[in-house]
Chains A and B, each alone.
Chain A
Amino acid sequence: MDILNALAVLLNFLVIPALAYGSQLALGALGVTLIYGVLRFSNFAHGELMAFGTMTTILVMWLLQSAGISGGFLPTALIAMPVGILVAVLLALGTDRLVYKFYRKQKSPPVIFLIGSLAVMFFYNGLIRFVIGPDDQNVADGARFIFTAGDFKKWSGLAEGIAFRTTQGISIVVAILCVAALFWFLNKTKTGKSMRAYSDNENLALLSGVNPEKVVVIAWVLAASLATIAGTMYGMDKTFKPFIYLQLLLPIFASAIVGGLGSPIGAVVGGFIIAFSEIAVTFAYKKVIGYLTPGDWVPDGLIQLLSTDYKFAVSFAILVVVLLVRPTGIFKGQTI
C-alpha cells in the first residue's frame, strides 16, 4: 500500500504534469525545428505565432459558444481549432511573402532572418494585443477532470489522490497524433521526402527538381499548424495570456536545441527532457521517501535537490552541457 501511495504522489505531482507540459513543449519545438531545418534560421516569432493561432481559435470559440455549440465533454476550442490553424497558416504565409522572401532572394545570412523574425515577433505581439488585449482568457470549457484526486482516493482507497485533467489528457493524445502524422508525412510522402532532401542538401535537392518555394510553403503550413495546436493545448491546460507565450519561447528553444535543431525526433525528446527535468530536479521527495521507508526514518527536511527558484536554471544547465558535449544536440541536428 505504501509503495502505491508513493507512486500516486509521484504520478500526481510529477509524471502527469510533466507529460502534459512536455507534450506542449514538444509540439512547439517541432515547429521551431521545422523552420530551422528548411529555412535555416531560428524563428523567434514562433511564440507569438502560437499566441496568434490560439487567439483566432478563441475568437471562433466565442462565436461557437454564442451560437450555442459546445464540445460537450471536450473543450469547444477543439472544434474551433481548424479555423485557428487556417488563419495562422495564412498569416505565416503572408509574413513569408512580405518579409522572408525578400531576404531569401538576397541570399541573406541566417542572422538577418533571425533579426527579421524578431521584428515579426513584435509586430504579431502588437497585433494580438490590439485584437484580443493583454488580459487572461479562459480557453477551457467542458469537463475539467477525467478524474479528480477525490474520485481517485475513493476508488482506490489510497491516502494519496491522483488528478487527471481533461486538458492534460487531450494534450498528450493530440501530441502523439501530431507527431505520428508528421513523421508519416516526412518519411512516407513524396512532398515530405523532398522536404527532407531540401533540408539535407539544398543544391542537390534543387538539381533533382525539388521546387524550393513549395518546400518553404509546406514548412510554414506545418509550423503554423503545429504552433496553433501547441498554443491551444497550452492555453486550454493553463491559461491564454499573450505575455505567457512570449516567455514560453525560452523552454521551446531549449527543447529544440537540446534535441538537436532541425531534428523532429530531437524536438519531441527535448520537450520531454526539459519538462521532466524542470519538475523532477526541484521536486520535494519528502512524502515519497516517507512512504517508502519505515516511519522514523523520515527526515525533517523536504529532500529537495534544488529549490524551485532554480527551475529555469535546470533547463539551461542541460542546454549548456548539451552544447558543450554535443553541440548538435542529442539527435544530430541540422537536418530534417
Chain B
Amino acid sequence: MKKILAALAATTLMTSAAISASHSPIKIGVILGFTGPIESLTPTMAASAELAMKEATDSGKFLDGAEVMSVRADSTCIDSAAASAAAERLITAEGVTAIMGADCSGVTGAILQNVARANGIVMISPSATSPALSDAEDDGLFFRTSPSDARQGDVLADVLIEKGVKSAALTYTNNDYGKGLSDSIQAAFEAKGGTITISAAHEDGKGDYSAEVGALAQAGGDVLIVAGYLDQGGKGVIQGALDAGAFETFVLPDGMVGDSLPAAIGAPLNGSYGTIAGSESEGADLFQKLATDAGVKTDTYAAESYDAAALILLAMQAAKSANSADFKDKVMDVANAPGEKILPGEIGKALEILAAGGEVDYVGATAVEFIGNGESGGSFRQILVDGEKITTEKYR
C-alpha cells in the first residue's frame, strides 16, 4: 500500500511537472542597465537576447514546445544594491530560472555573489569584462560571452606598439570595469616598452571634465587612452581634450566603441582607433541580417547578448530541464566542440539535435569559445574611426 501510494505521488508529481513544463512559459531574466551610464546600448542588447528566445519559442522544439518569456529588470549599471534587489525580485517574484546579464562588471559581481549564488541561478553576462570576475567564486553558475579585460589590455597594447606610440596618457571611468581595464592596459603597455604618463580616473554622469582634461594635458603623451563609456565621461573627456587642443588621437577600448561617439564628436575623431570584442565570422553577418529583419538595431554587445540568451536555451535543452542546478554543467558542453556548429538563426536546428541526444558546438554571432572558468576566449576587432564612421581595420 505504502509503495503504491509513493508511486502514485511520484507519478502525480512528474505529470504535474510535465504539464507545467509544456504549459507555463519558462521565464528568463534579462537584467541590464536600462537606466544609467549605458542606457543607450541596453535596449538593443535586450532586444537581441529576446530575439534568441523568440526563435526558440517559434521553433516549437524547446523543452517539448515550451514558451520562453523574457522578464526585463534594470541593473542601473552602477548601483549594486538596486541591481541585487532587481535580480532578487526576478527570481523570487517572477520565478525566472536563469539570468541573461548583468551588463556592467560591478553590478554583475554583486548580483552573482548576493543573489545568483544564494538562489543557485545561472547567469550569462554579455558584457561584464572585469578581470576580477575570472576568479570570482561562482559555484559554476557564472559565464560570460565577452572576454576578460586582461586580454583586451594585452591586445590594445599590441595595437599601440604597432602604431608606434611611445607614451600615452590614460583615463578610466571610476568603477570595476574602468579600473580593471586601465590596470591591464598599463601593465601590458609598459611590459612592451611604452610609458603611461598619467592614469587618472573620471566620474561618469558629471558633464564637466575640465579638471581631468587639465591634468591629462599637463602629463602629455602621444595619444589619450580613454577607458570609459561612450555616452558618459568618456565622451566628455574626449570633447574637452579636443576643445582645449590637448590631444588629437584617442584610443578607444570596448566601452567607447559605438556609433553614437563619432556622431557626437564628428570629424575631429577621425584617426582615432581602438579594440572591441568581435570576430570575423559568418555568424556576425548572419546575426546582423537576422536582427535587421526583425527590426532590431545592432550596436555594441548586441551579438553577445543574443549568444548569451542562446547558450542558456541550448543548455536547458541539453539538460532537458529549465532548472539552473541541472543545466549549469551543460553550458560549457553546448558552447564548445564537439558537435554540430550552430550559427545565429539555427537555434531551432540546435534544439532538435539536442532533443535527439546529439551534441552541438554553438558558434553564434561572436564565435563563442569558452575557456577556463566559462568566459569567452575572445577575438578582437581593431577599429578605426574614418570618415566619422567606425570601420574595421582587422581582427586579432
The interface of chain A, by Cβ under 8 A from chain B, is 9, 12-14, 17-18, 21, 134-136, 138, 144-145, 148-150, 161, 163, 165, 234, 238-239, 241, 243-244, 246-248, 278-279, 282-288, 302, 304, 307-309, 311-312
Contacts and interface: CB of A to CB of B under 8 A. Distances in A.
A298 B210 CA distance: 24
9 contacts: A17-B208, A136-B235, A136-B260, A144-B243, A234-B207, A239-B239, A244-B207, A283-B211, A283-B215
B73 to A, nearest CB: 17
Contacts of A165: 243
Given A134-B35, A239-B207, 16 more contacts: A14-B214, A17-B208, A18-B210, A135-B40, A136-B260, A136-B264, A163-B245, A238-B239, A241-B207, A241-B231, A248-B206, A279-B211, A282-B211, A304-B215, A308-B202, A308-B211
Interface residues of B, number: 36
A66 B3 CA distance: 81
B387 interface: no
Interface string B215-232: 101111000000000010
Interface in B171-224: 174, 198, 200-203, 205-208, 210-215, 217-220
The B interface, classified by DSSP as helix, strand, loop or mixed, is mixed
A283 B205 contact: no
B339 interface: no
Contacts of A234: 207
Nearest to A250: B206
Nearest to A302: B219
Given A12-B244, A135-B40, A279 B214 contact: yes
B236 interface: yes
Contact of A278 (B211, B219, B239, B243): B211
B158 interface: no
Contacts of A287: 218, 220
A128 to B, nearest CB: 12
Given A13-B214, A311-B211, A148 B39 contact: no
B36 interface: yes
A279 B245 contact: no
B264 A309 contact: no
Nearest to A125: B35
Contacts of B218: 9, 13, 283-288, 302
Contacts of A309: 174, 200-201
Nearest to A135: B40
B231 A136 contact: yes
The 3 closest A-B pairs by CB, nearest first: A149-B245, A17-B210, A284-B218
A307 B35 contact: no
A285 B212 CA distance: 13
Given A21-B208, A244-B207, A282-B211, A308 B219 contact: no
Contact of A163 (B174, B202, B211, B244): B244
Given A134-B40, A312-B203, A283 B214 contact: yes
B203 A311 contact: yes
Contacts of B202: 308
A169 B243 CA distance: 14
B210 A149 contact: no
B169 to A, nearest CB: 10
Contacts of B206: 244, 247-248
B6 to A, nearest CB: 56
Interface string B222-264: 0000000001000110011001111000000000000010001
Nearest to B208: A21
Nearest to B197: A302
A247 B215 contact: no
A135 B203 CA distance: 18
